[in-house]
């Protein structure tokens, strides 16, 4: 039996959709399940710091879902850069749940997978689009998870991925522990209208509000010095929005398709230390091929 599981990268928050909004994009984690063995073994090229046995997050997740799984040899290939704000750990968690689902013939629903993934990850913003594809708005309160999946309005996507890592735990340390009632209402109102604009296809309004986020970007932006210059270039060239992807440091730029090449060339001219990738929205989410 050959089984292949493919999970897309994700860009979370989209500004004010903090911990609840995410977009699937076309970078992929691919898991190929090979022959049964006596011990789990993962073949990968991710470096010595990534375990090849049951301590790998993929297998920790799968065995959490179903401890009795028959061990297999697995080949893991990831296009998703680690600790860059593109959902690398979430993609592994989702792949682990799907691995258990397929090998254990569990027949989990999408909602089941999201509930398990959110419990492991802590919030649904990355795992939800990794499962369902497209744009997903989700929440989790008291163990109950809700989600809405929607098509993303047409937009060009450029991701500037810096050479340096920024771990989510470090990025969360700069956030405030509480908001005043007034600030919470203001931040929530911005998020509400941003989501409404996305769902009705008004990218110009959505982009304006994404850049007015009060929840995290003003705090985390200090950790990613490139973001202010990239946003300035975006504004000058007619981009919809520039935002920190997830916890950063990846900076995502959304723009009309006819502006993409100009903005790309302007950003290339800056010679920032990192890579600039043109991305598209993944509309399928997790894919399984037998």
Binding residues for ATP: 81-91
- Binding positions are 81-91
- Of 37, 54, 13, 16, nearest to 193 (Cα)? 16
* CA angle (234, 238, 242) in 5-degree steps: 35
Give dist(CA 129, CA 138) in Å, integer: 9
User: Would you state the torsion angle of the CA atoms of residues 5, 199, 187, 245, taken in this order, to the nearest 10 degrees?
Assistant: 30
- Please report where in the chains the tokens 């010679």 appear, as a residue: 271
Residue 211 contacts residue 243 (beta carbons within 8 Å):
yes
Local structure of 63: helix, strand or coil:
helix
Local structure of 204: helix, strand or coil:
helix
Q: Would you say the C-alpha torsion 284, 56, 121, 107 has a positive or negative sign?
A: positive
Residue 116 contacts residue 12 (beta carbons within 8 Å):
no
Q: Around 59, how many Cα atoms within 13 Å sit in the side-chain half-sphere?
A: 22
Please state whether beta strands 144-150 and 287-289 pair in parallel, antiparallel, or not at all (unpaired): unpaired
Give dist(CA 178, CA 2) in Å, integer: 49
Cis peptide before 249 (omega within 30 of 0): yes
């Amino acid at each position: 039996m050959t089984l292949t599981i493919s999970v897309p990268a994700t860009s979370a928050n989209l500004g004010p959709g903090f911990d609840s909004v995410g977009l699937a994009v076309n970078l992929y984690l691919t898991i190929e399940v090979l022959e049964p063995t006596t011990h789990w073994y993962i073949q990968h090229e991710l470096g010595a710091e990534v375990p090849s046995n049951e301590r790998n997050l993929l297998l920790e997740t799968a065995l959490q879902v179903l401890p009795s799984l028959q061990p297999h040899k697995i080949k893991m290939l990831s296009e998703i850069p680690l600790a860059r704000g593109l959902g690398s750990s979430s993609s592994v968690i989702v792949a682990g749940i799907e691995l258990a689902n397929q090998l254990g013939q569990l027949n989990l629903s999408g909602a089941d997978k999201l509930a398990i993934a959110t419990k492991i990850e802590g919030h649904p913003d990355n795992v939800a689009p990794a499962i369902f594809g497209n744009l997903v708005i989700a929440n989790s309160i008291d163990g109950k998870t809700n989600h809405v999946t929607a098509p993303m309005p047409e937009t060009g996507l450029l991701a500037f991925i810096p050479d340096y890592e920024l771990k989510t735990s470090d990025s969360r340390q700069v956030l405030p522990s509480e908001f005043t009632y007034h600030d919470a209402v203001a931040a929530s109102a911005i998020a509400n209208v941003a989501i409404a604009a996305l769902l009705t296809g008004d990218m110009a309004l959505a982009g304006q509000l994404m850049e007015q986020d009060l929840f995290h970007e003003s705090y985390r932006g200090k950790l990613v010095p490139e973001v202010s210059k990239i946003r300035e270039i975006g504004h000058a060239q007619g981009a919809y929005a520039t935002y920190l992807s997830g916890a950063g440091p990846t900076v995502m730029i959304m723009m009309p398709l006819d502006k993409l090449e100009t903005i790309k060339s302007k950003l290339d001219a800056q010679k920032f230390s990192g890579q600039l990738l043109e991305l598209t929205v993944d509309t399928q989410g997790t894919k399984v091929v037998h």
